[in-house]
Amino acid sequence: MTGKLLLCATIACLAGCAGYTLGPTPPTYMKGIKRVAVPILKNASITPDVEALTTTAIIKQIQEDGTYEVTGVDQADAVVNGTIVGVDRTKARSLQGNVLASAEFNLRVTIYFRVERPAGPLIAERKILGETTFFVGNDIASQEREAIPLAVQDAAAQFVSFLSEGW
């Protein structure tokens, strides 16, 4: 009697784990894709030189995630095409005693992504918003340029989460 009870308990414990798999589980639209290519993104914003920075951040984030291998377009199962739509700065907080002067800004980078098969059919598309904040000093333009990589990194992390996890 004790042996049968122990056997039933063991089977019940093992049956509870029957649906789990080891390793990455990509979303449905990325099934069968192992290698992705990331050509340099297009820049439709007025901010210069952000396309190389953004492309590099996306490739590094994909490599850190480890779900997909980054390759050239000729070897890839999917190609990530992106367009940087805007880099926008908005006032977050004003100086105490002077509502016209800013003490802190929000910086938002908007990127539109399309994931396609090399032959052309669309797999997925998404608009990603990367955000950060920065404080105002003597030179707002240089402080904004220093904040752009942080917003780009936020957008890259969100995009790779969308690729590997579906959200």
Domain ranges for the chain, please list them: 26-165
For position 62, what pLDDT does the model report? Answer: 95
- What pLDDT score does 3 carry? 67
- Read out DSSP for the chain? -HHHHHHHHHHHHHHTTTT--SS----GGGTT--EEE-PPPEE-SSSTT-HHHHHHHHHHHHHHH-SSEE--GGG-SEEEEEEEEEEEEEEEEEETTEEEEEEEEEEEEEEEEEEE-TTS-EEEEEEEEEEEEEE--S-HHHHHHHHHHHHHHHHHHHHHHHHHH--
Collect the ranges in the chain with pLDDT lower than 50: none
pTM over 0.85: no
CATH of domain 26-165: 3.30.160.150
pLDDT in tens, 34-77: 999 999 999 999 999 999 999 999 999 999 999 999 999 999 99
pLDDT at 166: 80
In this predicted structure, what is the pLDDT of residue 94? 72
Write down the pLDDT at residue 76: 94
